[in-house]
Amino acid sequence: MSIRALIADDEPELTRELERQLRQAWPDLATIYHAANGHEALRLLGEQQPEVAFLDIRMPGLSGLEVAKRLHHACQIVFVTAYDHYAVEAFEREAVDYLLKPVREERLETTVARLQQRLALPSGNARDVSELLERVSRALDHRPEAHLQWLQASIGERIRLIPVAEVLYLRAEDKYTVIRTQEGHYPIRTPLKELENRLDPNHFWRIHRNCIVNAYQIHSISRDFRGRYNLTLRDCDDTLTVSRSYAERFRQM
């Protein structure tokens, strides 16, 4: 049986990495389609009718759950999500297949084995999942907003997982946001403003329109002859200057 799959994710690097892992774990997979948002995923699902779909929970346009609700043909769904305690809890309670980002190869192999077993059954073990998806959606809608715990950066063909606690600061440069850790610099495409909205504001402070610092990494604060505040950090030699717009926090110290 020729099996086709769809990967729907708005992060190209993660899409490529998941396809690489899928090709390795499932060599007989015939075709893998790509969608960068929910609307494109829904269109490809309708036109190509793949037997398997890997849907990112957070996508522009339509979420992975919304796409799954609108499916009109038998398709095995696997939801892909960044670590979210409430999402995982909901999926496990409802026995929905899911993968956590970044996807571990051994976990993907388990998922592939489950998919192959279901697809071998009559009609691919098709079932009505609309009620199940509603319950999962309600569980996710009522979760408190979780702060980011990990950041993902592409290094060649691999995805590097960076614990947020190890980030020294983040700086906007050209079309990228550069993550600075003790080990080095890692550019990512997520805008600084978007990251700011998902980072814990008690730990990450905006000090410039182009820079956010991990407050736990501040070693000392000094003022130069112009009255500007400069920050030295614990685990690197970089010095960060606080712009006047964000200096009030440091005047109160």
List the domain boundaries for the chain: 4-141, 150-251
DSSP 184-209: -EEEESS-HHHHHHHS-TTTEEEEET
- Topology of 4-141 in CATH? Rossmann fold (3.40.50)
The reported pTM is 0.61
Residue 247 phi, psi (nearest 5) = -80, -20
pLDDT grade for 125, boundaries at 50, 70 and 90: very low
Class of domain 150-251: mainly beta
pLDDT grade for 126, boundaries at 50, 70 and 90: very low
Helix (H, G, I), strand (E, B) or coil at 6: strand
Residue 169 phi, psi (nearest 5) = -160, 165
Q: Given this model, what pLDDT does residue 171 score?
A: 96
Mean pLDDT calculated for residue range 20-25: 94
Q: Given this model, what pLDDT does residue 98 score?
A: 83
Q: Given this model, what pLDDT does residue 143 score?
A: 57
